[in-house]
Chains A and B, each alone.
Chain A
Amino acid sequence: MGSELLIEEAPHTKTCTEQFYEVFPFYLSIGMTYDLFWLKDATLVKSFRKAYEMQRERANYDAWLQGAYIYDALCAVSPVLHAFAKKGTKPIPYPKEPYGMTTKNLKQSSEQPAKTEAELREIQALNASAKFASFVTQWNKRFENKGGGVDGGYNRSTTD
């Protein structure tokens, strides 16, 4: 133990050519051509690696953005997905425009009011009705557990 450095055998030393052939498939996979890798400026690989990194970051951001849109869509339809949703409940409208990405777009979207008064009132009403439905369900459950029927005991026999 602890003497690996002393007993280690000489490793197989790779030639530069072997190393080049080892990494060549990776550079082909990120868009470098045979000529660019073997015949042109040797430092081009650095730019290709950097470009590949940027591409991966962009793909990651796109995936995140798609997730955000899906989340928004789910939130918008959630009022109608509720089991005790009132008749006539409507989903919240999905954003009319995509999220702003450039600085100009962001400025515009911040200037626009997020939601109109009527939309806000509608959302508040939906939230209130959902809360009330949930409260009624819990209340009924508690009542049933204490011996009351589903109908609140109104149809109970009067003979007992």
Chain B
Amino acid sequence: MGKSITLTDKRSGKVYTLEFNRKAIETMERQGFVPSEITDKPATMLPMLFRGAFIMHHPTVKRDVVDALYDAIPDKTTLIEKLVDMYSEPILSLIGDSEADEGNVEWGANF
């Protein structure tokens, strides 16, 4: 089961499911979304990331509706963290779990 976020618009009562599939990622990249530019151009890339999360389940929703939702969302930092996590899922799922090499390499971090 893929990761998803449920968004409820209290004004209209509509419930949106935010999720990424590969087609959504392809569409976003065609529209100019570059994940590595999130830190360089956050004002452009983050709303694009948010809009992209609607492509899978709500492709017909209007852009100004999505932008209004984005503006009204509280705790954007956590939401963006979750969106980035969700965005990377279709890519990471293609990387095999190398069970055969288990134990040959170890790693650790000091943070």
Contact = CB atoms under 8 A, between A and B. Distances in A.
Interface of A is mostly: helix
Interface string A28-43: 0000000001111111
8 contacts: A16-B29, A16-B35, A16-B91, A38-B23, A40-B21, A41-B2, A42-B20, A45-B93
A121 interface: no
Interface residues of B, number: 18
B65 interface: no
Interface string B20-63: 11110110011000010000000000000000000010000000
Interface of A: 15-17, 19-20, 23, 37-43, 45-46, 49
Output the residue of A19, A37, A41 with the most chain B CB within 10 A: A41
A39 B2 contact: no
A17 B1 contact: no
Contacts of A49: 96
A10 B56 CA distance: 34
A19 B89 CA distance: 13
A39 B94 contact: no
Given A43-B2, A45-B93, 14 more contacts: A16-B29, A17-B26, A17-B30, A20-B25, A20-B90, A20-B94, A38-B21, A38-B23, A38-B26, A42-B21, A42-B22, A43-B1, A45-B94, A49-B96
